[in-house]
Amino acid sequence: MTVHTIAMKAQTGPPDPALAVHYAHIAELAATAAHDGGSTVGGGCDDQFEFEFALDLLLDGFETLRRQGWTSERKA
């Protein structure tokens, strides 16, 4: 089963039980994960904090690269 097929199944309904057998540890993590009650994924985690934390990490990394002179331009 491809990643695309797995993603499409997740968007269209409950996951294939065979995936839980094949990926038991991931299925266990997914079953115990919880999110904010107001979020689209449920209650338990602080989605806003997690988003801001990840965004801060990314922005700090980009700033570090910028200070080091990194560029996305291809060098000939």
| Distance set, CA 23 to CA 3, 5, 12, 36, 40 (Å) | 13, 15, 19, 25, 24
Per-residue confidence (pLDDT) for residue 76, from 0 to 100:
67
Q: Which of 2, 37, 61, 19 is nearest to 70 (CA)?
A: 61
- pTM (2 d.p.): 0.42
Domain boundaries, the chain: 1-32, 36-71
Q: Tell me the average confidence (pLDDT) per consecutive run of 10 residues in the chain, 76 residues long.
A: 51 66 79 60 66 92 94 79
